[in-house]
Structure 1
Amino acid sequence: MAELHPSAPTPTYDTPTPRWVSLLTDAGRPVVAAWVMIMCAPGEHHLGKLAGWSDTLAWGMAGVLAAYAGIAAAVASKRPKGAPGKTSAVAGAWLSLGTAMSAQPISHMFVTGHWTAEPRPPVWLVVAVSCIPPLVLGHLLHLAATPVRVTPVVTEAQPMTTPVVPPASAEVPEPVPEPIAYSDPRCAVIRSLYDDGLRPGTKAMRTAIVAAGFESPSDGVIRGQLRAEVERREPQLAALPPAPVAFGA
């Protein structure tokens, strides 16, 4: 058989529980609890009669002890550790279990003849059994009146943050660009031709310059000097699509 390495995790095997086992467990526990109370009831009833109760009232001893054991066990299991009444509930659960257990052998000792109740039962038995119902009631009331301490969950306070709202400001109009001071006034005439979104041609620029009252310059001056200065000041104008060529005079 291969040995597991010391550092290797221990393998776990998840074996499914058969359905009949689950059914037997779920249904068997209440059945067993019921039969235990039925088997203990005659002995507790017998002790009640020995203590002096009538035949009918003596059956209440069985109900008192059964209820005491169930309530004390439930409170002991539900109370958290350190809660008020936890220790008392645990002690009551053990006391009820011990009382129910001791009732059976004591009753059986009388029934089987090992002890005799003739002419009358012992004083200690009468006193002890007679005190059981009021003691049980007192302890159950104590458990019911004991509050469960709830530890408040203290959470660290989060700092209050006020959202910063930018101050409302009036709309500031876009600044109007100042006119460009060209070295040659004819550049301003050419610049106005770009307002149509097209790059003007040589003929259109000459026509505009003459219409503005200037003498007609040469093509080299128009393209290499005047238009060059305009597009040097505003480089985006050079990327505009060219204007269609006008063939008319």
Structure 2
Amino acid sequence: MPVSGRPDAQMWLAISAAALTTALTVVSFWLSFEALHDLATAHRLQGERAWAWPATIDTFIAIGELLILRASLMRRVDWWAIALTAAGSLGSIVLNIFSVGVSDDPLDYVVAAVPPVAALLAFGVLMRQVHDYLLSRQEPVTAPPMPVSAPVTPSVQAEEPEDVEEADEAPEVTEEPEPVKEPEKPSEPLTPREQTDQIVRDLYDSLGNRRPGTRHIRQALADAQLPNSDGTCREARKRVEMAEPHLKSLPDAIAA
């Protein structure tokens, strides 16, 4: 029976998730802008100024999320980015609730708070997807191998035969010197990408001829102190199965 292409299905699922997340982000920000626009209109701002005023609140969310994404790719924590995101989110939620005014129905405040909360969560999910995509495209930086000097072997000298003391005695046979072996050239160290592929290929054998899942690969790469994001795991498994196509037909290993 032919095996369906799993990479194609995963790609379309990722594209669909990104499209839906983008649509949710746009709708959430639009609803939040509408509420803040009404609040600005009610407090002496009209026309273009009333539409520009919400950007002074909600734009902090976008700036903070982008800086958090940048810091994540650099493997560090940016507290300024977190503070900007928190300030923009809290300010947008509070002002959206204030735009309702005095109401006896608590659901009015819930409806007003949903758009800014949804905008924060949707934009965070979108930045997470961008992070995984960019991380899967990064090539590991390898340091040039250090030159290794070949070991020096001492020259083998032939032993001189001993002088014959008596003419009647048979001449002694001297041992032939062993041939000098050339030193073996040291093998070049594997690059991080080759180490990753080797670890993923060994998982097929260690799991009993089963296809490892993302969790198996991530744990193995983490133990080897190598990059272990979901995108890196999927790309490594794809390279291994392209080199050995029969591995695709193996049953999936059950994640512990």
What interval of TM-score do these two structures reach, taking the shorter chain for normalisation? Answer: 0.3 to 0.5
Q: Pick 1 or 2: higher relative contact order, CA cutoff 8 A, min separation 6.
A: 2
Larger Rg: 1
Task: State TM-score, norm by structure 2.
Answer: 0.34
TM-score, normalised with respect to structure 1? 0.34
